[in-house]
A and B are shown apart, each in its own frame.
Chain A
């Protein structure tokens, strides 16, 4: 009997120890962390977690970042559904823009314990009477996050910007949720700068840099604040970034060399860069490449036009000729490359008459074109 009792107590005790160590808070941090990174006391409990104020989860590796394409597009905030129409928060758009600042996701999802990304309400509770005053309430958290940036844009704090009274017409574009979810910040097509130089005009094709040259926004916009571009009162935000430094990170130029200056500075607007002017028209496939896929370094110098200069594995048997838009008939299928491309000049269109008599050519082609294109 005594043994039974002692066994019973042992089980109870160990049970207690095990249970007391299991985190009961569902959002408890999951990654291996030192307890004292969040808790100030030695034995935190559910009721008294003694959390240190604002634990610094922004340190590398502690906060979770997700790519902007992978986040919820829209978040409906309807905590005040009894008074106002719900506010639709363009989450994805904000996620995309937040990449331009130093904070990224963490600029809103601050102090997110390692593990799942939590909604505001998980930490910020509604109501002004709270047990723990160190964590701001939900209302303050929402308004703080939104107004922190939006105040710099419009310089007003009018409620109607987000809250439409129950039953009132929603703000322009406010109901088309699908459209809103796909809304992304339009990219500036072109910026014309006027400088103090002798040739004052610098034309910067912004869209080409992002769409064609394959640059990400953050490659140039390294540490932006929302207000710098979105300030409605100062529409022409002054360029705080050092322009030479930004351009020079790709374009090799010597600012002391007048010849180099003229590459950007001119007396009038420069036309956008057209690859054709270099003597090489970009084909269907080459069009999709970024500059650095072919050109290495920062000098975009002339490259060897021979296909095999880049496509090193293009040899007979491994190259599908159909990618050029031309499929051989069975008579030509087994030809060696150099049989038609004399002297390995692949950039030049082969001349049939070099092999065939002039009677059958050009009525009979060695195959069929699957698309019209000019081979250089």
Chain B
């Protein structure tokens, strides 16, 4: 009895100390301890990609989305429109004209960038989103309440929502093939890429590789690794011959995307103080109003 009581006090003390130790201004979506040197990434070389769309095929296959036959993906007409990742296509390839060589358009694969400081993790009010140690940003469908805050927060507008599903619609996005990568496997798109335009490896090694490539071929690449610093760094990074703005990759500062909104939002939800105070205030007003009404009723009688 004594023992368990002592334990209880101990545990309560630890919890109390824990709560006291966490302050809203220190909360960060990208947990610093997770961002180890060993986290993985992918380097996309858009000068190598030929737009064969095999990554789209493999991605669907790896995520139980009907993917048809491989030869269906030889269809070039899809490039007429700009596409975004969607619930049934977690990655898509877009094609851009190459003014220097019209016969060789530039193909750019789009998917979740797996930010080091993910805004979706920050924005998720139920903590369904998380940044994993291997670099993946994943989410727990069971926890998700479908608020779609992640879609609003994402600086790359990646998460998609199953609007057409009436029952249990899910958020969908590239999960870095977490089921495969967590056990040392490689993402399905990287595995199938015939040109090896996608290189999977430790992020810091990919940055080194990208720098070497730029150094060795200064005419081939612009001197910019997209994703090295954008929104605080991303696991997926890009090399290109042209300005990334022209390839529909949004221009971002080096500041992490969660930024200022995070401290406000976390301050609101972390201790439930503002909501509780708000409810208390409203409750108080109601209670006062009720008393008043009661008095009025009483006086009316």
- Please determine whether chains A and B interact with each other in the same assembly: yes
Report whether B71 and A128 are in contact in the complex, using a CB–CB cutoff of 8 Å.
no
Most buried by A among B193, B194, B201, B216: B194
> Contact mask B193-209 → A, CB, 8 Å, 1/0?
11111011100011001
A53 at the interface (CB under 8 A from B): yes
Name B196's contact: one of A137, A151, A160 (CB within 8 Å). A137
Name A159's contact: one of B48, B70, B195, B201 (CB within 8 Å). B70
Given A134-B209, A134-B212, A147-B50, is A158 in contact with B200 using a C-beta cutoff of 8 Å? no
Most buried by B among A54, A152, A159: A159
A136 at the interface (CB under 8 A from B): yes
B103 at the interface (CB under 8 A from A): yes
- B-side contacts of A141, CB under 8 Å: 196
Report whether A53 and B212 are in contact in the complex, using a CB–CB cutoff of 8 Å.
yes
Name A144's contact: one of B48, B103, B201, B209 (CB within 8 Å). B48
C-alpha gap A151/B50 in the complex (Å): 9
Count chain B residues whose beta carbon lies closer than 8 angstroms to a beta carbon of A.
Answer: 27
Name B206's contact: one of A54, A128, A133 (CB within 8 Å). A133
Name A139's contact: one of B51, B186, B196 (CB within 8 Å). B196
Report whether B212 and A128 are in contact in the complex, using a CB–CB cutoff of 8 Å.
no
B52 at the interface (CB under 8 A from A): yes
Report whether B194 and A143 are in contact in the complex, using a CB–CB cutoff of 8 Å.
yes
Report whether A140 and B104 are in contact in the complex, using a CB–CB cutoff of 8 Å.
no
Given A134-B212, A158-B71, is A140 in contact with B52 using a C-beta cutoff of 8 Å? no
Report whether A156 and B103 are in contact in the complex, using a CB–CB cutoff of 8 Å.
no
Report whether A152 and B103 are in contact in the complex, using a CB–CB cutoff of 8 Å.
yes
C-alpha gap A231/B103 in the complex (Å): 10
Q: For window 191-239 of chain B, which residues contact chain A by CB distance below 8 Å?
A: 191, 193-197, 199-201, 205-206, 209, 212-213, 216
Name A157's contact: one of B51, B200, B206, B216 (CB within 8 Å). B51
Instruction: With both chains docked as a complex, state the minimum distance between the C-beta of A145 and any C-beta of chain B, in angstroms.
Output: 11
Given A128-B200, A139-B196, is A157 in contact with B209 using a C-beta cutoff of 8 Å? no
Instruction: With both chains docked as a complex, state the minimum distance between the C-beta of A37 and any C-beta of chain B, in angstroms.
Output: 15
Closest residue of A by beta carbon distance from B191: A128
- A-side contacts of B194, CB under 8 Å: 139-140, 143, 159
Instruction: With both chains docked as a complex, state the minimum distance between the C-beta of B245 and any C-beta of chain A, in angstroms.
Output: 26
C-alpha gap A128/B185 in the complex (Å): 10
Report whether A227 and B216 are in contact in the complex, using a CB–CB cutoff of 8 Å.
no
Report whether B216 and A53 are in contact in the complex, using a CB–CB cutoff of 8 Å.
yes
A323 at the interface (CB under 8 A from B): no
A188 at the interface (CB under 8 A from B): no
Closest residue of A by beta carbon distance from B101: A152
> Contact mask B115-139 → A, CB, 8 Å, 1/0?
0000000000000000000000000
Report whether A128 and B196 are in contact in the complex, using a CB–CB cutoff of 8 Å.
yes
- A-side contacts of B174, CB under 8 Å: none
Instruction: With both chains docked as a complex, state the minimum distance between the C-beta of B10 and any C-beta of chain A, in angstroms.
Output: 46
Instruction: With both chains docked as a complex, state the minimum distance between the C-beta of A54 and any C-beta of chain B, in angstroms.
Output: 5
C-alpha gap A285/B193 in the complex (Å): 58
Closest residue of B by beta carbon distance from A160: B71
- B-side contacts of A53, CB under 8 Å: 212-213, 216
Name A133's contact: one of B48, B52, B76, B205 (CB within 8 Å). B205
Report whether B104 and A151 are in contact in the complex, using a CB–CB cutoff of 8 Å.
yes
Instruction: With both chains docked as a complex, state the minimum distance between the C-beta of B145 and any C-beta of chain A, in angstroms.
Output: 37
- B-side contacts of A136, CB under 8 Å: 196
Closest residue of A by beta carbon distance from B205: A133
B106 at the interface (CB under 8 A from A): no
Report whether B70 and A140 are in contact in the complex, using a CB–CB cutoff of 8 Å.
no
Given A139-B196, A147-B50, A147-B195, is A133 in contact with B74 using a C-beta cutoff of 8 Å? no
B154 at the interface (CB under 8 A from A): no
Instruction: With both chains docked as a complex, state the minimum distance between the C-beta of B200 and any C-beta of chain A, in angstroms.
Output: 6
Q: For window 155-170 of chain A, which residues contact chain B by CB distance below 8 Å?
A: 155-160
30 residue pairs of the A-B complex, CB under 8 angstroms, read: A53-B212, A53-B213, A53-B216, A54-B216, A128-B186, A128-B190, A128-B191, A129-B200, A133-B199, A133-B201, A133-B209, A137-B196, A139-B194, A139-B196, A140-B195, A141-B196, A143-B195, A143-B196, A144-B48, A144-B196, A151-B50, A152-B103, A155-B103, A157-B51, A157-B52, A157-B74, A158-B74, A159-B70, A160-B71, A227-B103
**B: which residues have CB within 8 A of A?**
48, 50-52, 70-71, 74, 76, 103-104, 186, 190-191, 193-197, 199-201, 205-206, 209, 212-213, 216
Apart from A128-B196, A133-B209, A140-B195, what 18 extra A-B contacts exist at CB < 8 Å? A53-B212, A128-B186, A128-B199, A129-B200, A133-B205, A133-B206, A134-B209, A139-B194, A139-B196, A140-B194, A144-B195, A147-B50, A147-B195, A151-B50, A155-B103, A157-B52, A159-B70, A227-B103
The 3 closest A-B pairs by CB, nearest first: A140-B196, A143-B194, A157-B52
